[in-house]
């Protein structure tokens, strides 16, 4: 027997052994998919937590700025009542800038909320799929 035939025979036997090992545990591919889904879920959960923290911070900042705007409005009214036009004008400019920031943050919130919702939806999908696979494994 030549060396080439020996190598060919050895390769063929290894190939057959590989097939037997795969068919020995028919659940191996399902378990590998479950493991992959578990890891993807953990990754998405970590990302969701970061986005939720960003959303919480944005909501707090928006609320704080809305309160500051209300306070500035009453300070402006007080200045006008006390005939302090220059101070009222300065505060009005500050209020205008604050309202612009409030508008920007108000536009940002729906995007953050949508991102969080999308991540939550994807996580629910992964869990359902993983649970279906686990039922098949049982």
Q: What is the pLDDT of residues 23-66, one digit of tens each?
A: 556 777 788 888 899 999 999 999 999 999 999 999 999 999 99
pLDDT at 19 over 80: no
Q: Total domain count for the chain?
A: 1
CATH number at residue 98: 1.10.287
Confidence of residue 86 (pLDDT cuts 50, 70, 90): very high
Q: What is the pLDDT of residue 91?
A: 94
Q: Residue 136 and residue 116: Cα distance in Å, rounded? A: 31
Considering the entire predicted model, what is its pTM?
0.70
Which among 109, 106, 107 is positioned nearest to 55, based on CA atoms?
Answer: 109
Task: Enter the tokens of residue 46.
Answer: 């970590």
The structure tokens 């911070």 sit at: 57
Stretch 59-75: mean pLDDT: 96
Q: What is the pLDDT of residue 24?
A: 58
Give the C-alpha distances (Å, rounded to integers) separating 109 from 19, 44, 45, 62, 93.
Answer: 54, 20, 20, 9, 25
Q: Which domain holds residue 128?
A: 3-137
């Amino acid at each position: 027997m030549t060396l080439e035939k020996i190598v060919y025979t050895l390769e063929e036997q290894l190939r057959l052994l590989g097939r037997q090992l795969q068919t020995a545990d028919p659940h191996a591919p399902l378990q590998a998919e479950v493991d992959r889904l578990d890891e993807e879920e953990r990754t998405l959960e970590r990302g969701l937590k970061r986005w939720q923290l960003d959303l919480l911070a944005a909501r707090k900042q928006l609320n704080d700025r809305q309160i500051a705007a209300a306070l500035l409005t009453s300070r402006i009214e007080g200045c006008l009542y006390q005939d302090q036009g220059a101070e009222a004008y300065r505060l009005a400019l500050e209020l205008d800038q604050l309202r612009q920031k409030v508008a920007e943050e108000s536009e940002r919130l729906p995007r953050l909320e949508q991102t969080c919702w999308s991540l939550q939806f994807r996580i629910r999908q992964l869990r359902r799929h993983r649970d279906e696979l686990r039922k098949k494994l049982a």
